[in-house]
Amino acid sequence: MHIFRCFTQIRRLTKMTSLESAKKTAAHTAVDLHVQNNTIVGIGSGSTVVYAVERLAERVKAEKLKVQCVPTSFQARQLIVQHKLTLTDLEINPRLDVCIDGADEVDNNLTLIKGGGGCLLQEKIVASCARELIIIADYTKNSQKLGDQYKKGIPIEVVPMAYAPIKTQIENLFGGAVELRMAKAKAGPVVTDNGNFILDWKNFQQDYNWENVNTKLNLIPGVVETGLFVKMAKKAYFGLADGSIKEQV
């Protein structure tokens, strides 16, 4: 029994190492191919973006690049400051050259689910201001259809007073189950950087026209933004378990 537990732990650690290596490979590839001198870069959120910022800082130091960074969240801002990169915002630079961000899932049409970390609104705003949105992820985020691998649902940011009627409307319109996302380190719901709640739409059908669904969701009063990113990503880089890269356009 003890030997079995040890084997299971080793296998789990090996998988974790493989995933982190895949994230790093994808992040480095995107930064190396899409960031040049005098580039204004949107910095996304999540674990894979950490490697992108590290690589960006390495290149700025080694190549003396002049790069300005627009964060999509408090986490992204802290990463930029921590690595001594130049911080800017959309008021100063409303047009970006590129936004590099992660995703919770990417389907075969480059439709994304984002917002697992709760930053979907600011991520979508920054991405919409960029000439190109480049997605970086490990191989577990690559699916044929949304929901194949990511089971936590499609995040929808909502005004707090409206979460209950919005939940009912989504379930009546599209089926599935909608849950209010609850915090883990405090009592009550998750509150976003913008002071809103997040609903997670789970058990949805997989053959939807996601562009139409996204439009209908955004028309519900009280919906601030959805975690569906449709026709926004230009390219995705997936780090694979063998150390190679899969590129999707």
* Amino acid in position 200: D
User: What does the block give as tokens for 129?
Assistant: 């201001």
Where are the strands (E) in the chain, listed by range? 39-43, 67-71, 86-87, 98-101, 105-106, 112-113, 133-138, 154-158, 177-180, 197-202, 223-226, 228-229, 233-239, 245-248
Q: Please enumerate in sequence order all residues whose Cβ is within 8 A of that of 245, keeping only pairs 6 or more positions apart, or say none.
A: 25, 26, 29, 237, 238, 239
- Please tell me what DSSP assigns to residue 12: H
Residue 218: count other Cβ atoms within 10 Å of its Cβ.
13
Q: Which has more pLDDT, 11 or 105?
A: 105
Same domain, 118 and 237: yes
The strand pair at 133-138 and 98-101 is best described as parallel
Comparing 7-21, 170-184, 233-247, the range with the smallest average pLDDT is 7-21
- When divided into structural domains, the chain yields a total of 2
Question: Is the separation of the CB atoms in 214 and 226 below 8 Å?
Answer: yes
Q: Please enumerate in sequence order all residues whose Cβ is within 8 A of that of 244, keeping only pairs 6 or more positions apart, or say none.
A: 25
Comparing 7-11, 89-93, 97-101, 244-248, the range with the smallest average pLDDT is 7-11
CATH code: domain of residue 37: 3.40.50.1360
What is the SS3 assignment for 157-199?
Answer: EECHHHHHHHHHHHHHHHCCEEEECECCCCCCECCCCCCCEEE
Same domain, 38 and 88: yes
Same domain, 222 and 234: no
Which of 123, 132, 157, 247 does the annotation list as catalytic?
123
Same domain, 65 and 177: no
Calculate mean pLDDT across residues 13-38.
Answer: 89
Mean pLDDT of the chain: 94
47-84 residue pLDDT tens: 999 999 999 999 999 999 999 999 999 999 999 999 99
201 HSE (CA, 13 A, CB side): 30
Question: Is the separation of the CB atoms in 99 and 131 below 8 Å?
Answer: no
Calculate mean pLDDT across residues 107-122.
Answer: 97
- Distance of alpha carbon 167 from the chain centroid: 23
**pLDDT of 17 strictly over 90:** no
Same domain, 59 and 89: yes
Looking at the chain, the whole-number percentage of residues with pLDDT higher than 70 is 94
Query: What integer pLDDT is reported at residue 7 of this predicted model?
Result: 40
Residues in the chain: 249
Identify whether 2 is part of a domain: no
**pLDDT of 185 strictly over 90:** no
Tokens 């599209």 found at = 174
189-237 residue pLDDT tens: 999 999 999 999 999 999 999 999 999 999 999 999 999 999 999 999 9
The strand pair at 154-158 and 197-202 is best described as antiparallel
**pLDDT of 46 strictly over 80:** yes
Query: What integer pLDDT is reported at residue 37 of this predicted model?
Result: 98
Same domain, 42 and 135: yes
Same domain, 204 and 137: no
Calculate mean pLDDT across residues 79-108.
Answer: 98
Same domain, 94 and 198: no
**pLDDT of 1 strictly over 70:** no
Domain boundaries, position 209: 154-226
Same domain, 113 and 65: yes
Identify whether 9 is part of a domain: no
Question: At 10, is the pLDDT very low, low, confident or very high (cuts 50, 70, 90)?
Answer: very low
Question: At 8, is the pLDDT very low, low, confident or very high (cuts 50, 70, 90)?
Answer: very low
Query: What integer pLDDT is reported at residue 2 of this predicted model?
Result: 56
**pLDDT of 6 strictly over 90:** no
**pLDDT of 4 strictly over 90:** no
Query: What integer pLDDT is reported at residue 15 of this predicted model?
Result: 53
Catalytic residue status for 123 = yes
